[in-house]
């Protein structure tokens, strides 16, 4: 599985992060993710921070997994302004429906699951 994350308009006053968690078919693997090509050793869950997202596009890849859950949450720090994020999943080498969300100053939380 591969997930490409981008944001538009995300600023320092905003609050936003994504948490990835997953499991292999046996539930025994400890290293599950790569972030921008760097293996995240002994991590069954990873957090993609606002600072990472503000720095540019993030690509999260997985070892062969049975399931991946992505929890996204945050809010815009300025009333009347918004930012957006895009999640582009590729499962079994096939592009899936792209997730596009706009975040306002109202708290946002959503979980996406991929098998």
Tokens of 37: 């090509």
Summarised one tens digit per residue, pLDDT across range 37-85 is 999 999 999 999 999 999 999 999 998 888 899 999 999 999 999 999 9
Contact in structure between 103 and 16 (CB atoms under 8 Å): yes
Predicted TM-score (pTM) above 0.85: yes
The pLDDT value recorded for residue 31 is: 86
Exposure b/e, 48-60, CB count within 10 A at least 16 = b: bebebbeeeebeb
């Amino acid at each position: 599985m591969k997930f490409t994350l981008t944001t538009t308009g995300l600023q320092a006053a905003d609050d936003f992060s994504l948490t990835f968690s997953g499991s292999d078919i046996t539930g025994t693997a400890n290293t599950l993710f790569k972030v921008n090509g760097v293996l995240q050793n002994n991590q069954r869950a990873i957090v993609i921070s606002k600072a990472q997202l503000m720095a540019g596009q993030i690509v999260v890849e997985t070892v062969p997994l049975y399931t991946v859950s992505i929890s996204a949450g945050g809010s815009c720090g300025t009333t009347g302004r918004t930012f957006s994020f895009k999640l582009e999943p590729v499962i079994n080498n096939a592009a899936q429906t792209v997730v596009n969300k706009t975040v306002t100053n109202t708290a946002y939380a959503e979980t996406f699951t991929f098998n």
